[in-house]
Structure 1
């Protein structure tokens, strides 16, 4: 090890001290940490790009194999047994490569059938792992929906389980289905994004609600299961609080739920209702949105949005209620747990039960009358 000798004189005595040159080499120069952090980011980015490139190349290979199987079956009239034979031959030739099972070759054929144009593999589906693509093939029938869910998965970083959940909860059909006045009350860019983010209905089937649940219990249950609630709301929602306190003109008011949306850059007030939408709900929400704008909104924030969540709604009533309001409000519905809905009788069931009860009472009365006559 190299040593740097330094001579120090004090009076008539000479001291000699040593320091390690290696210590100097190891001491970090100025801005070293920032430089190292930058290099780490570049390495991670390169790793991700390399993984994506390998994945895309693999999916392209799978598509080409599937397309070749289709062509041989269509042009040469080969049967389904050729897939079993091909699986054996490929595994024999490439024993260290996984993915050439009979079932996986069948999926490659389905993959090529689902996307006849090879260029599509270069899009969002090519950025997803193979198992994600299998879920898209198994659970969806149209290319439009497959591509939509694939794009959302890439955008939001969904795991396969989350992707399956979103498909099974019919997110495609629910997205952007609420009644709103966003087109008139928000700038176009924010209006378009807000309309895309609002669903109808919102699925609360993850909640353990009882049959006679009230609005306050619904709110508390959503807060307790805030992780699932945030996933259902979508990417960008940040929870601020429940029963959020506001003071207006010396009086206390409490917002059911208050969120801040990181993409919209605005507060979102949610009012929960267990029944059907009523016109007066929009007036109350208009008050809440105006108060949040004045008391909480920062000068750099976009206008606050109100979201009224009801068990059901009349489209006409909701449209009338929002028509002349200048604050951005959406009216949508929530879907309660299946167990809860199964416990609640429908109108038809009530009519059947009432008719049966009336018939039974009439028969009992008739029997009593016959007995008394005897």
Structure 2
């Protein structure tokens, strides 16, 4: 029996609300926990690295703690070493010259109030929202500050579990995330699927078969039809430009729901993603209203066109220009996987670059000489 799409949507919304609530509750205790672990990590580091503690000291201290506080969790030998690593890795970033009010240290309790560093790019809210186990995963696998800040932000805003984070770290999402604005990581539950989608699409495509001189007409719809016509007429070349494993299904693809007809500009299927890919063409600058339209198309595709064995449909808006920061903000709260990319024709390129490109006839002649 098919599950009602409304139920699936309701479960997703309730699940997201539960996760957000859990993260808010966790954030309220995280600062105290992280401060404690940071202080213990500093104490252990100073005494085990350059102090008087001998070999095996951490193991002995852990065992003695278990006897002093029966049932104590989180202070195994491995955990204490993690606290030391947590302090040592973040000390360079978090430790600035303290003011009297900045640092409160009780040598007996080892309670340290860690304060936000001066670095402008450091998101203190993200740091405190991420649990200690997440921090340790990030420290172990991400070696640059930029990468660590990226994964912290994703954990804090996407509500990743430790295991989801581990999958993305293993796949090196930071290095492969691409530059196109998208919401793939938050809308595709399968980590590998999200990573494939991020890696597949570029942020800009050169469509040199489009005649720019025909564009910029008074009616925007007419411009979009010109772009669509040029792509369909050169669909093989477009697919080669767009990416691997695409199959063209059709243009102005008709879908219908509740007696309402809608037409998708271009519909493809990608074998690598095992997903339908809907492409909406826009001849001008990106508008946030485009996302709502595309989100509806994807809902209908998933409900009435997608096969049971296929992954969720993906939407791409192909427009002439965009403000990337604005698009990233606009796309993040939609529940269907979407991305926004731009296209450029050869006439759009600077004159010096166009002159650097070889003439097509010259290339053909060179090929004839090589082959014949």
Q: Same fold (TM over 0.5)?
A: no
TM-score (norm 2): 0.43
Question: Highest relative contact order (Cα 8 Å, sep 6+), 1 or 2?
Answer: 2
Max radius of gyration: which structure? 1
TM-score after normalising by structure 1: 0.43
